[in-house]
Amino acid sequence: MIMDAIRIIHEPSDAEPFVVLEKKEGLPSAPLEDGDDCALTRVMTLFPSLADVEGRKKVEHGLVHRLDTDTDGLLLIASTQAFYNHIILAQKEGLFIKKYSARCKRSRCSLEGFPPCPVDVSGLSSGDSFALSSGFRHFGARGSSVRPVTGECSEVIRKKAAPGL
């Protein structure tokens, strides 16, 4: 098992009973079954006490949220039951905010369920960027995917990257 697909950002302590890790794309966040290779099982080899936390799914222990396998980013994992219960309640009450960003490639075709881009991107060049913010809705078979909410774009920011970046 290699650890190069995860990087520990924060180790658990008595005062801060959670792990924050960065996972690379291509690695699942959580196992489908006990023992599957994923970010959670890898970090549990470093911090075995994470296995003592009972999450929404038994196999996910204290994993607070998941990222898609093709997504890189940060994961939050509770190392105590008390912290897990606290952060899940905070999330349900809207006190826990998740923020996502994405790097995208231009595509000539539209994917099912995605609204047209609300920004004219025809003038963008390689190295240019723009940001959109949107809520998400469930989409697809049994709501297993998410798509941006259609309608008015709440925020659009365009930036010109510095030359050479």
Shared-domain flag, residues 19 and 36: yes
Judge whether 118 lies within some domain. Answer: yes
What is the C-alpha separation between 2 and 128, in angstroms, rounded?
Answer: 35
Give the structural domain span for 121.
101-165
Judge whether 145 lies within some domain. Answer: yes
Report pLDDT digits (tens) over 116-134.
666 676 777 777 766 666 6
In whole angstroms, how far apart are CA 123 and each of 107, 116, 131, 159? 15, 16, 15, 12
Shared-domain flag, residues 56 and 114: no
128-133 and 155-160 strand pairing = antiparallel
Shared-domain flag, residues 87 and 107: no
Final residue of a structural domain among 32, 66, 92: 92
Q: What is the pLDDT of residue 68?
A: 86
Shared-domain flag, residues 14 and 40: yes
Residue-by-residue pLDDT tens, the chain, 165 positions: 457 789 999 999 999 999 999 999 899 999 999 889 999 999 999 999 999 999 999 999 999 998 888 888 999 999 999 999 999 999 889 887 777 666 656 566 666 666 666 667 677 777 776 666 666 666 777 776 766 665 444 344 444 444 443
Shared-domain flag, residues 75 and 106: no
Report the CATH number that the domain containing residue 78 is assigned in CATH.
Answer: 3.30.2350.10
Report pLDDT digits (tens) over 12-40.
999 999 999 999 989 999 999 988 999 99
Final residue of a structural domain among 66, 92, 118: 92
Q: Is the CA virtual torsion 36, 37, 42, 45 positive or negative?
A: positive
Q: Whole-structure pTM over 0.75, yes or no? A: no
Q: What is the pLDDT of residue 109?
A: 62
Judge whether 1 lies within some domain. Answer: no
Number of domains in the chain: 2
Shared-domain flag, residues 115 and 70: no
Judge whether 83 lies within some domain. Answer: yes
Shared-domain flag, residues 132 and 64: no
Q: What is the pLDDT of residue 130?
A: 66
